[in-house]
Amino acid sequence: MPGNRAVVYKGPGRVAVETIDYPELVLKDGPGVNPLNVGRKCEHGVILRVVSTNICGSDQHMVRGRTTAPEGLVLGHEITGEVIEVGRDVEFIKKGDLVSVPFNIACGRCRNCKEGNTHICLNVNPDRPGSAYGYVDMGGWVGGQAEYVMVPYADFQLLKFPDKDQAMEKILDLTMLSDIFPTGYHGAYSAGVTTGSTVYVAGAGPVGLAAAHAAQLLGASVVIVGDLNPARLEQARSFGCETIDLSQHADVGEMIEQILGVPEVDCAVDCVGFEAHGHGRDHQEEPATVLNTIMQITRAGGRLGIPGLYVTGDPGAKDEEAKIGSLRIRIGLGWAKAHSFVTGQTPVMRYHRQLMNMILSGRAQIAKAVNATVIDLDDAPRGYADFDRGVARKFVLDPHGLVRKHHPERFLAFSQN
């Protein structure tokens, strides 16, 4: 039996690469596993050799200590892998298939799954609808920042790439299908972006950059990205976005007017979430800032996509209300302007096949947009630290060296950095 090295949360600000159990087709007890899920048999699942697995901003919230994640939790919900073992009840997925794993775990059998709402499956998390790999309060499914991982409900969930050689040539784009690309696309799509739209994207982290690229694919005439980080804004400009440096400018409407001639946009997307800061030179954490700003600068009758993460438990929040996810949102403003809001996890399966085709055809260039950067699994702690400092990169972990083999030009050896 091979070993299985994985990225493990060790407490606020710390992760480590440790050897964990090799996966089996059963959910065993461990850090974060819901007691009602312990012993759950998964003959409908597969074991994957992980080809690529990405560091996500949602992981970073946990590593910063801003959730109730337990120490010892195996991280990682952005997974692409090769099938090496199939369960007894798997009919259509075969050994050797190269697949993308939606970060939402979904049974395919409940009412929500049948309606396409795989982000709020009713059968995979005993505490509440919705689940994900390696994430706090999501049922305890073991994360995929590892060499090997178990994936349940394989026939329903997995997206098989049609040609393995072609897929490995495009792997830096395809690895984004498990979360970031569909999430950015969902934010733009649910905000109503269409031909000729003017769009404001709050946040130039990887999800914000993905949302900006998605808005371009959907036909936006102008995409404006706002952030406090100049390096990330430069990355947004690299593929044709307008930008606003929020560390220098507090009035977003005024800056939009300088770009568009009017102080409002048709659509807005919140890609920041609950660790938002205010704007201007003396900015501090103000978790409702982005939500209130996008209501201010979106035209009456406009729509707001909110893929940015908001939580019900934030032990690091600055006030007692925010610790339980209660924020000072100007809902009256949104009501007065007849805004529509779409929130929650992204139903990845609603988009991933179409986005795969966009990648394979060369239409979508998501790896370029987010500056995909390959690092060794052993360098995950450094990747988390650099990501936390705001580098303009999307780190792709390469547990078996397969991505580096195909894309040595995108590999970053930290010892040489």
**What is residue 250's predicted lDDT score, i.e. its pLDDT?**
87
**What is residue 249's predicted lDDT score, i.e. its pLDDT?**
87
Residue type, 118: T
**What is residue 60's predicted lDDT score, i.e. its pLDDT?**
93
**What is residue 1's predicted lDDT score, i.e. its pLDDT?**
62
Beta bridge partners of 149: 48
Residue entry with tokens 């990682």: 76
Give this prediction's pTM: 0.96
- How confident is the model over 123-129, as a mean pLDDT? 96
Q: How far apart are the first and last CA of the chain?
A: 35
**What is residue 415's predicted lDDT score, i.e. its pLDDT?**
60
**What is residue 285's predicted lDDT score, i.e. its pLDDT?**
87
As a whole number of angstroms, the distance between CA 135 and CA 71 comes to: 12
Average pLDDT of the chain, as a whole number: 96
Q: Residue 304 is inside which H or E element, if any?
A: strand 298-306
As a whole number of angstroms, the distance between CA 311 and CA 165 comes to: 40
The DSSP result for 81-124, as a single string, is EEEEEE-TT--S--TT-EEEE-SB---S-SHHHHTT-GGG-SSS
Beta bridge partners of 380: none
Strand 46-54 relative to strand 148-151, pairing: antiparallel
CATH of range 5-179+348-416; options 3.20.20.70, 3.60.20.10, 3.90.180.10, 3.40.50.300 = 3.90.180.10
Q: How confident is the model at residue 102 (pLDDT cuts 50, 70, 90)?
A: very high
**What is residue 58's predicted lDDT score, i.e. its pLDDT?**
92
**What is residue 281's predicted lDDT score, i.e. its pLDDT?**
83
Q: Report residue 407 as tokens.
A: 């894309």
Quick: pLDDT tens for 364-387: 999 999 999 999 999 999 999 999
Contact by Cβ (8 Å): 181, 39: no
Quick: pLDDT tens for 279-337: 988 888 899 999 999 999 999 999 999 999 998 888 888 889 988 989 999 999 999 99
Closest CA to 380 of 400, 398, 354, 355: 398
CATH class of 182-343: alpha beta
- How confident is the model over 227-232, as a mean pLDDT? 96
Interacting residues of 163 by C-beta distance below 8 A, sequence separation 6+: none
Quick: pLDDT tens for 42-97: 999 999 999 999 999 999 999 999 999 999 999 999 999 999 999 999 999 999 99
User: Half-sphere exposure of 377 toward its Cβ, with a 13 Å CA cutoff?
Assistant: 25
Q: How confident is the model at residue 103 (pLDDT cuts 50, 70, 90)?
A: very high
Give the dihedral of Cα atoms 66, 17, 23, 142; nearest 10 deg. Answer: 0
**What is residue 375's predicted lDDT score, i.e. its pLDDT?**
98
Other beta carbons within 10 angstroms of residue 357's beta carbon come to: 12
Closest CA to 346 of 117, 155, 193: 117
- How confident is the model over 245-262, as a mean pLDDT? 96
Quick: pLDDT tens for 143-162: 999 999 999 999 999 999 99
Contact by Cβ (8 Å): 18, 8: yes
Contact by Cβ (8 Å): 180, 213: no
Q: Spell out the domain ranges in the chain.
A: 5-179+348-416, 182-343
Q: Report residue 337 as tokens.
A: 């302007």
The pLDDT > 70 percentage for the chain reads 99
Instruction: Check pLDDT > 60 for residue 416.
Output: no
Q: Report residue 180 as tokens.
A: 């970031």
Residue type, 110: C
Handedness of CA 186, 239, 416, 406 (dihedral sign): positive
